[in-house]
Structure formats: C-alpha cells, structure tokens
Chains A and B, each alone.
Chain A
Amino acid sequence: ETGVTQTPRHLVMGMTNKKSLKCEQHLGHNAMYWYKQSAKKPLELMFVYNFKEQTENNSVPSRFSPECPNSSHLFLHLHTLQPEDSALYLCASSRVWEYERTDTQYFGPGTRLTVL
C-alpha cells in the first residue's frame, strides 16, 4: 500500500457542481495538508490539520471546505468553483512532534482538477 493516496486522480466539474477530493495516508502520521499547484506557480499551502485540528487556513475562499474526520483521512469539499481554481491539488502528511518539529512531509500523487 502506497503511503499517501488521493482520489480521484482527475476531475472535471462545472461551476455549479459539488464534489469532494479524498486523501488517505497509511504512514501513521498525525498531520495532513492540502496544497494547490497552479501552472507555473509555486506550491500554495491551503490547509493544515495537526492532530485532527485545523491549525492553518491560508486565506482560502470558502468554496473550498476541508474535513479531517481522523488522522488518516482528509477531504476537500468543493462547491461553486471558478475556472481559475483549475489546478493540481496535492495532499501531504507528516509526523508532528508537539513542541518539536514537523517531520518530512510525504505527498500524494495529486488530483488534477479542471473547472469548466
């Protein structure tokens, strides 16, 4: 079983659709992350969950809604997206040691999202 899996790998949706991206990690990590990578842009951190608590939300529009039901699963719920939201959405996980550091992050393969 690979470390971090993401489904679906590709998604095409209209602006009025509602869809969800799923991420699952099998590494025993306790922190999970959503990143966005648009063409020719750097990785943009969207959300961070440490110990199932959301600790970071980098000014992400409310049309993106994360959910972390447990330390192994992370969802990104999408609704009324815009064409400029088309990008590669990457999930990552890591071990976080309280009051210490965030360890190496391991990434999933990403979901290529196209909004029409």
Chain B
Amino acid sequence: DQQVKQNSPSLSVQEGRISILNCDYTNSMFDYFLWYKKYPAEGPTFLISISSIKDKNEDGRFTVFLNKSAKHLSLHIVPSQPGDSAVYFCAASAVGNTPLVFGKGTRLSVIA
C-alpha cells in the first residue's frame, strides 16, 4: 500500500515555463513533507520542505503548495531551466521515529 503517490512518472516542460510536480498521500498522520531532486548515479538532494501548519513555502524558483484537505502537495518550478531535468521525489514524515516515506518519483525533462 503506497502511502505517498506520484502518479506521473514523467513530465516534459519547455525552458522558461512552469513545471508542476504533484504528490498525493493517504496517511493523515503525515505532517511534514519534503521534495528531493536526483540526478542519475547520484544521491537525492534535499530541495524544499513544508510543515502542515503552512500551505505554501517558497525558496527562489521553487514553491511547494500543500492542500491538507485533499492530501495533496505540489512543487512548482518557475522558470524551468534545463539544469532542473532530474527525478523529483516527494517524501512525507509523521511524528515518531519512523523513516521518511518516499514516492516513486517523477522524471522532469526541461527542453531548451
């Protein structure tokens, strides 16, 4: 049973446009969410996070939106750049000593 779902395995966006990556979760105990970016043959890199007490967190070109009632979060990248091409993982955390739960990832391709 997947508690964190990224239903789009891939996404292609033109350079300069907005990239929107989506993530859904089922466990209502999750209250902290993270996005990681991964290049091939490298470890995931932490990108941005959001606590459930907020509905938006922004860091430069990256913004994460959280809709708790829909159990949905999204990562917006604007403007998208070719260097953003990578796999993006959504992860969730609940109170307690349990590891992060990761989604399967979405491969973003930004086309010049």
Contact = CB atoms under 8 A, between A and B. Distances in A.
Interface of A: 4, 6, 31, 33, 42-43, 45, 48, 50, 55-56, 88, 90-92, 94, 96, 98-102, 104-110, 112
For the complex of A and B, the 5 pairs showing the least CB-CB separation, nearest first, are: A107-B43, A42-B104, A107-B44, A43-B102, A110-B43
B99 A90 contact: no
Given A45-B99, A90-B43, A102-B93, 16 more contacts: A31-B97, A33-B99, A43-B89, A43-B102, A96-B97, A98-B97, A99-B96, A100-B96, A101-B32, A101-B94, A101-B96, A104-B46, A107-B45, A109-B43, A110-B41, A110-B43
B11 interface: no
Chain B contact residues: over half helix, strand or loop, or mixed? strand
Interface in B1-57: 32, 34, 36, 41-46, 49
A92 B95 contact: no
Interface residues of B, number: 24
B104 A112 contact: no
- Residue of B43, B45, B49, B104 most packed against chain A (CB within 10 A): B43
Interface string B100-111: 101111000000
Contacts of B103: 42
Contacts of B91: 105
- Residue of B42, B95, B97, B103 most packed against chain A (CB within 10 A): B97
